[in-house]
Amino acid sequence: MHLEIHHDRAAQRFETRVEGMHCVLDYRLAAGVMTITHTMVPPPVGGRGVAGELVRSALEFARDEGLLVQAACSYAAAWMERHPDYAELRA
């Protein structure tokens, strides 16, 4: 599935729409650390890898910006555990 993911830096959010439904990953930045606070994908479009792509986009942003990442969101934490290629980003 190809998703067009938008990064709203002012809102500290990554977002996309799937079948008209708003899917988001929220984060906050402080002292060089991106804390992923929340992912939300509505149940009717869940199970398609949308949350994973939101997390991947956030981690790629963090990598590009030289940030460390703390996953306060349980989904993001589990996703990072399953993808050790992002281990160097862990705060």
Domains, the chain, with CATH or none: 6-89 (3.40.630.30)
Phi, psi of 9 (to 5 degrees): -60, -40
Q: What's the confidence (pLDDT) of residue 1?
A: 66
Count CB-CB contacts under 10 A for residue 12: 16
Please list the rounded mean pLDDT of every run of 10 residues in the chain (91 residues).
92 97 98 98 96 98 98 97 96 92
Distance separating alpha carbons of residues 28 and 13, to the nearest angstrom: 9
Q: Is the pTM of this model over 0.85?
A: yes
> Greatest CA span in the chain, whole angstroms?
37
